[in-house]
Amino acid sequence: MAHPSVLLFISSAFAILHAATAASSPVGVNWGSQTSHPLNPGIVVRLLKDNGISKVKLFDADSWTLSALRHTGMDVMVGIPNDQLYAMSSKYDNAKNWVRENVTRYVHDGSLTFRYVAVGNEPFLTSYNSSFLGTTLPALKNIQRALEESGLGDQIKVVVPLNADVYDSASGVPSGGLFRSNIRGLMADVVGFLRSKNSPFMVNIYPFLSLHDNKHFPVDFAFFDGTGQPIIDGGRRYTNVFDANFDTLVNALKKIGAGDMEIIVGEVGWPTEGADNANVASAERFYGGFLKKMAGNEGTPMRPGKMEVYLFGLIDEDMKSVLPGNFERHWGLFTYDGRPKLEMDLTGTGKSRGLTAAIGVEYQEAQWCVMRRG
C-alpha cells in the first residue's frame, strides 16, 4: 500500500523564522544517494539549512545536487566513487576533465565553496580484496595536479576517506597502533603525499561496528557517558572506543613519521534498526554523548581540542547493500522522506529545539491493487 496522501506544509513565516534562528551545528553530515525515492535536492538543502548544518560531504559529483547547493554558503566535500579510480589514475586528462566539470566551473562563478575532494571511498577495505590498491594513489596525484593547474591547489585539499580497518593494535591498546601489514608501505606513500600537500588524513570510525562485530565487546564502552570500565594506556585513560580508536590511528601515524598530521573523521554514526543494539534509544544515547563531546571541544587523550567530523548519515538509504547487515539501510538521522527519527540536539549544547523535518515533500495519492476473482 502506498503512503497516504499528504503534503507536508509549514507556513512560510514560521519557516523563515526557524531558518533564521536555527543554531549552527559543530559537525557536518554525509549526504548519500543510494535510495529508491530520492528527495528533490532543493528540499534536502532546505533541510540542511533549517537544521543549522553548514558542512556537507557527498559521495559523488551529481550535477543536480551540486546545483542545489549553489549560493548557499555551505562547505562542500565532493567525492569520486571507487569505480572511477581507474579512469582517474590511468589518464591525466580524465582527472583534468573531472576537476573542470565538477569543481572549477562552480568555483570560478563563485557559486560553491569546496573544501575537499574525496578520492575514493574506503578503497582499502579488506572486503574489496585489493581491488583499488594500485589505482588510489595515482588517482589522488592526478586530481591534485589538476587542482593545482586550475589554481585551486591551496584552496581545495584532496583526501582519501579510509575505514578504520587500515590500522590495528597488536597490543590491544592505542599505543600499539600500526597500519595493516599488507598495506603499510602503501599507507606510508599515501600519507607522505597528503602531508606534502598539507592535506589531512580522513578516517571513518564506527563504535557501533565495534559492538556489533564482537559479542564480547563491553556495551557501555561504545558510548560517552563514562559508565564502562576504562582502559589505561601509559597513563592515558580511555572511557570509550571512539577515543581509543582515534588515538590508535595517531600512534600508527607516529610510527611512520606523521604524528602531527591533521585527522578528520569522515563518518561516524549509529543506525536505528536492523541489528541488535541498532535502535532509536541507543542512537540517541550515542549522539547525545558524542555531540556534547564535539561541542565541548574535548578531543581525545592524545589530541585534545577541536575535531572536524561528519555524521553518517543524513537520510536513510534503502538501496545500500545489506551484505554487512540490514542496519546498513538505517543510518539516517531522517527517514527517506525527511522526517526526524531521533530526539537530538545537533549543537550538542542542550539548547536546540531538536531536528526539523523536510518541508515541501509531496506524496503520491494512496492506491491499492485489488485481486480479481479467479
CATH code, domain with 271: 3.20.20.80
- Euclidean distance between CA atoms 302 and 236, whole angstroms: 8
CA angle 295, 300, 302 (to 5 degrees): 145
Contact status, residue 29 vs residue 55, Cβ threshold 8 Å: yes
Type of residue at 56: V
Q: Is the pLDDT of residue 9 over 70?
A: no
Concerning whether 343 is annotated as a catalytic residue, the answer is no
Whether residue 372 lies inside any domain: the answer is no
Structurally, the chain folds into a number of domains equal to: 1
The average pLDDT across 5-24 equals: 38
- Euclidean distance between CA atoms 239 and 32, whole angstroms: 31
Q: Is the pLDDT of residue 340 over 80?
A: yes
β-pairing, 308-311 vs 263-268, is parallel
Whether residue 1 lies inside any domain: the answer is no
Whether residue 353 lies inside any domain: the answer is no
Distances (CA, A) of 364 to 11, 39, 153, 327: 22, 13, 46, 27
Taking residue 165's Cβ as centre, other Cβ atoms within 10 Å add up to 15
Whether residue 157 lies inside any domain: the answer is yes
pLDDT digits (tens, 9 = 90+) for 35-75: 999 999 999 999 999 999 999 999 999 999 999 999 999 99
Catalytic residue among 122, 262, 284, 328: 122
Q: How confident is the model at residue 25 (pLDDT cuts 50, 70, 90)?
A: confident
Whether residue 335 lies inside any domain: the answer is no
Q: Is the pLDDT of residue 365 over 60?
A: yes
The average pLDDT across 152-166 equals: 97
Whether residue 5 lies inside any domain: the answer is no
Quote the cell numbers at residue 124: 582499502
Whether residue 219 lies inside any domain: the answer is yes
Q: Is the pLDDT of residue 24 over 90?
A: no
Least confident of 14-28, 94-108, 289-303: 14-28
Concerning whether 267 is annotated as a catalytic residue, the answer is yes
Contact status, residue 50 vs residue 356, Cβ threshold 8 Å: yes
Type of residue at 5: S
- Euclidean distance between CA atoms 258 and 165, whole angstroms: 18
According to the model, what pLDDT value does residue 374 have?
83
Q: Is the pLDDT of residue 162 over 90?
A: yes
Q: Is the pLDDT of residue 294 over 90?
A: yes
CA angle 103, 105, 110 (to 5 degrees): 95
- Euclidean distance between CA atoms 318 and 326, whole angstroms: 10
According to the model, what pLDDT value does residue 18 have?
41
Domain that holds residue 127: 12-329
- Euclidean distance between CA atoms 331 and 320, whole angstroms: 11
Distances (CA, A) of 240 to 55, 112, 222: 26, 37, 6
pLDDT digits (tens, 9 = 90+) for 184-232: 999 999 999 999 999 999 999 999 999 999 999 999 999 999 888 899 9
Catalytic residue among 148, 149, 262, 267: 267
Whether residue 355 lies inside any domain: the answer is no
